[in-house]
Structures are given as C-alpha cells and as structure tokens.
Amino acid sequence: MNTIDVLRVEKKYQLTGIEAALLERKLEQILPRDSYGGDMGYQVRSLYFDTMDDGDFFEKEDGYEYRKKIRLRVYSPEDQTAKLEMKEKQGEFQRKRSLVLEREDAMALIRGDYGSLLKYENGLAMEMYCMMQERMYRPKCVVEYNRNAFSIPENSTRITLDSRIMASEACFDIFNPELQLYPVDDYDHVTLEVKYNRFLFSYIKDVVSSCDKMQLSYSKYCMARRIFKGLI
C-alpha cells in the first residue's frame, strides 16, 4: 500500500489578499504550478483527530518541542481514496507520513472504527492503529481551504498559498458535498507556507523574502478549535 514519508523545514507567514496576489504573480514566473489545481488552485478538506482531552491541541498551544497531529485528508468529496497523515514537529523540521486509504476504510475512521487500518499490512498503519486506540483518539474538527501551490522536486521545495479557511465541529463527514462550514479567519488573510529540505534556493528565497513578514507558529487546526472552544 502506498505510503509517503517526508522530512523538511516548514515556515508559515500571514499575508493580505493583495500581498498574496502579488507574490503569486512572482512565483509563477520562476516555479511551475502544482499539477493538482492549475491556475485556480484546489480544495483541501481535512478531518483532525485528537485525544479525549485534546492532548495534541494543548501541546501545540503550550509550545511543546515535540508535537504531532493526525488527520484524514481529501481533495474532493468525490474522491475514492483519502490520505491518513501524521505530522510531527522535530526541532525545525516537520515530518509527514501518509497512508492512502480506500474510501470505505476512511469512512470507518470517521465513524471511530480504527480496525479498518488492520487490513493494511504496513508499519505506519499499525503504529497509527495502536496510537489511536490506546490514546482514545476521536474525530474533532473538519478544516477546509483553497490552496494555490508551486513546487519543484529539488530539495522537496513547495510553496503554498492557503485562503478562505473554514471549519466545522458539527459534522465530520469529509465526503459530504453539502458539508456546512463556517469561516474561522478573515477572508483577506492568506497563509503562506514555505517548505523545503536542506536549503531554500536563493532565487526562491529572494521572491518570498519580498513579503517582509515575520514567521508564525500557526496551525489551522488549532485556530479552528480555539474559535469553537471560545478561546478567541
């Protein structure tokens, strides 16, 4: 079964809509767009899991050096597969491990039935099954946004611009085409993510640095949960 393991630096910044549009024009002159979405970008919808006491949420909020999050991701409600992902922060690096699941197995996870992972004879599937069972992970929040992405294979370099972030804690069915979601950030805010391994090429760094923004410690999941918890 297809698995992906990526370790790279990941930096995040917040832009205005105008700043993002200007940066996008510069990026498309030096980098190819991601093949998923073309000029219009594409939708990303993720269901985040957390422990009964929201351990992963509070580890991020409290700034733990090592922290993780588990999510189930699709790019369209019609998708016949989904990606179960574990993201772990290790120093300045983010490690992301992904397992591709069949739609019916993803639906089982949404219902809280993690036994569907046992059919995948894979080390990551077993690790996630044991963790989600033992620590009593449960579906907590759906987050959706629009993404424009640019990437090159060298140094696993990827630049993304995420906008129109919405979320829900009322329904966890990420395959529902009529899922009701609510804005959790200003529509004029765009999240810039700069991801790379080893080093960022100078010609890309020069373009990104033109934004002159401070790096953020930012999580779409935590932002959505803070709103639903009434912490903002």
| Amino acid occupying residue 142 | V
Q: What is the CATH number of the domain that holds 113?
A: 3.20.100.30
* pLDDT for residue 163: 96
At residue 1, does pLDDT exceed 60?
no
* pLDDT for residue 229: 76
Closest CA to 165 of 83, 209, 227: 227
Q: What is the mean pLDDT of residues 139-165?
A: 96
Please, what is the average pLDDT of the chain?
A: 92
Closest CA to 73 of 101, 112, 38: 101
> 112 is in which domain, residue-wise?
3-229
- Residue 138: pLDDT band (50, 70, 90) is very high
For the stretch 195-214, pLDDT in tens is 999 899 999 999 999 887 77
At residue 193, does pLDDT exceed 60?
yes
How many domains would you assign to the chain?
Answer: 1
Contact 102, 81 (CB under 8 A): yes
Give, in degrees to the nearest 5, the angle at Cα 7 between 222 and 66: 45
Residues 6+ apart with CB under 8 A from 69: 48, 50, 56, 60, 86, 87, 219, 221
Cα–Cα distance for residue pair 136/61, rounded to 1 Å: 20
